[in-house]
Structures are given as structure tokens and as C-alpha cells.
Amino acid sequence: MNSGIIELSIVQFSLIYLLLLIVLFIMKRANISQTRLLFTASIKMSVQLYLSGLILTYIFGNPHPLFVVLYLTSMVLFSTFRILKKNPRLNPQFKRVIFLCLMASGLFVVAFFVGIIVRTSIFNPQYAIPVGGMIIGNAMNGLSLGIKTLTDTLDLERNKVETLLNLGVTPKRIMIPFVNQSLEMALLPTLNNMLNMGIISLPGMMTGQIISGTPPLTAIMYQTAIMIAITTGVALTTFTSLSIGYRTLISENEQINWYQ
């Protein structure tokens, strides 16, 4: 049996877009007015991935640590932008906390995975960039959900918080339960994904490795390791961001400073 990956021609690859006609038909049949979004998302995804492929081809051919750092930093910047776009009302201090915690936590987990587990240079683009993308991307989703949960809860509990502040209760004592609840909500999707992995579906990284000819048991070890790394990245990023960020929501005079 051929253990190498089967190369796709442009024609073969282009045929996959025919499946979108099924999606388009279903959307039309169900009167879902998002056909333009489907078209835009498909084109944008294809262009972004193509450009990423060109950049990665260059980086892999010129594996300099600076290129790896710049690529990972761009991931963090874009992830921060996406988080802030979904949570636009955050004050400037909280925004800085998000960027710094995502950068520090994400890169720490990437460095541990590449340097300790794989035992190669942390600037090896073959491992640092794809692993970094998975860890930072999932951390972005978890943190975005955690922040939304926190801000939505604070909107609902604003009167209660103001009353407790006026009674002399410390901001930490008031906010920590909200932070813990938000952290739990941020972690749940990742934990549920771990529960179902290997039974309902084969995860993307493992599938890609198996298709490329990697022995299944090796692919399983990598996938298990990356899922633990992803979970750690989500937990560490969300915990540090919320634990530090909530302090910016109440001023030194113990006045509410929710948003901009």
C-alpha cells in the first residue's frame, strides 16, 4: 500500500467547490439569507489559506527564528483583533491585558510542546507554526467566550455589584465568582471536544498525519499531546486574562469602569 500522500491537481482540488452548491441549495430551500456570506467566506478562506501557503513555503525554505516569531506574533495580533471585535466595549487597559496574556500564555505552551515534547528547536517552523496556530486559535475562541460571559453577567448583576461596593465589600471578593464562572464556560467546549475525540470523529491533525502516511499510533500520540496543549492554552490564557483584566473594571476609587 502506498504510504505517501496523494498529490491533488488543480482540477481535482477545484471539484471540492461543487459541494458548496449543496449548501447553497439548502440555504435557498430554508430561506436563509446568508448566500452572500457563504460566497464571501469561501473566497476569503481560499485566498487567506493560499497566501498563508506562500508565506509558509518561504519560511520553511528559509527557517530563520525571526520569521517564526513574526508569524506567531501576527497570529496573536489577529486573534486579539477578533476577540476585541466580538467584545468592542472593553476598556483600553483590559484590551492590553488580553494581548499580553494571549501572547505570553500561547507562546509558553507552544515552546513547551515543541521544545520539551517534540524536542526540537522552538524556532523550527515545521512544528512551531502549525502547533502555534492550533493553540492560539483555540485560546482565542475560549477567551472570547469567557470575556463575553463575564461582561454579560456583569451587565445583569450591575446593581448587585454597585450595592456590594457601597457596603464595603472588596472588588476581588465580588468579582472572583464571576471570573470563575466565565472560566468554566470558556473551558467547556474544549473539554467536550476531548470527551468525544476518537469516538465520534478523528480530529484534524490526526487525520492529516494519517493521510500523509504517518503511522496511526504516532498520529494518536501527537493528537493527544496537542489536545492537552490546546486545553492548557485555553485555560491559562483565559485564567490570566480574566484574573488580571477584571481589576481594570473597577477603578481605584471602587467605581465601576466596565467599558470605554
Domain match, 31 and 158 both: no
Domain match, 85 and 118 both: yes
**In the predicted structure, residue 79 carries a pLDDT above the cut 90:** yes
Cell triple for 88: 468592542
Whole-structure pTM value: 0.86
Number of domains in the chain: 2
Neighbours of 4 (CB within 10 A): 8
Q: Is residue 160 part of a domain?
A: yes
Domain match, 58 and 85 both: no
Domain match, 90 and 211 both: yes
pLDDT, tens digit, for every residue of 86-145? Answer: 888 888 999 999 999 999 999 999 999 999 999 999 999 999 999 999 999 999 999 999
- How many whole angstroms separate alpha carbon 260 and alpha carbon 251? 13
Chain centroid offset of residue 228 CA: 14
Q: Is residue 259 part of a domain?
A: no
Chain centroid offset of residue 151 CA: 19
User: Which residue from 220, 72, 246 is spatially nearest to 150, judged by alpha carbons?
Assistant: 246
**In the predicted structure, residue 259 carries a pLDDT above the cut 60:** no
pLDDT, tens digit, for every residue of 158-188? Answer: 888 888 888 888 888 988 999 999 999 999 9
- How many whole angstroms separate alpha carbon 118 and alpha carbon 122? 9
Domain match, 43 and 131 both: no
- How many whole angstroms separate alpha carbon 6 and alpha carbon 113? 29
Domain match, 53 and 148 both: no
- How many whole angstroms separate alpha carbon 51 and alpha carbon 253? 49
**In the predicted structure, residue 18 carries a pLDDT above the cut 70:** yes
The residue segments making up the domain with residue 14 are 1-62
pLDDT at 202: 63
Domain match, 111 and 189 both: yes
Q: Is residue 183 part of a domain?
A: yes
* pLDDT grade for 199, boundaries at 50, 70 and 90: low
Helices (H), the chain: 10-14, 19-29, 35-61, 65-86, 92-112, 125-156, 158-166, 171-196, 204-211, 216-245
Cell triple for 57: 513555503
Cell triple for 210: 494519517
**In the predicted structure, residue 63 carries a pLDDT above the cut 60:** yes
pLDDT at 197: 78
Domain match, 181 and 203 both: yes
Q: Is residue 254 part of a domain?
A: no
Span 186-205, average pLDDT: 79
* pLDDT grade for 250, boundaries at 50, 70 and 90: confident
Q: Is residue 256 part of a domain?
A: no
User: Which residue from 182, 178, 189, 181 is spatially nearest to 230, judged by alpha carbons?
Assistant: 189
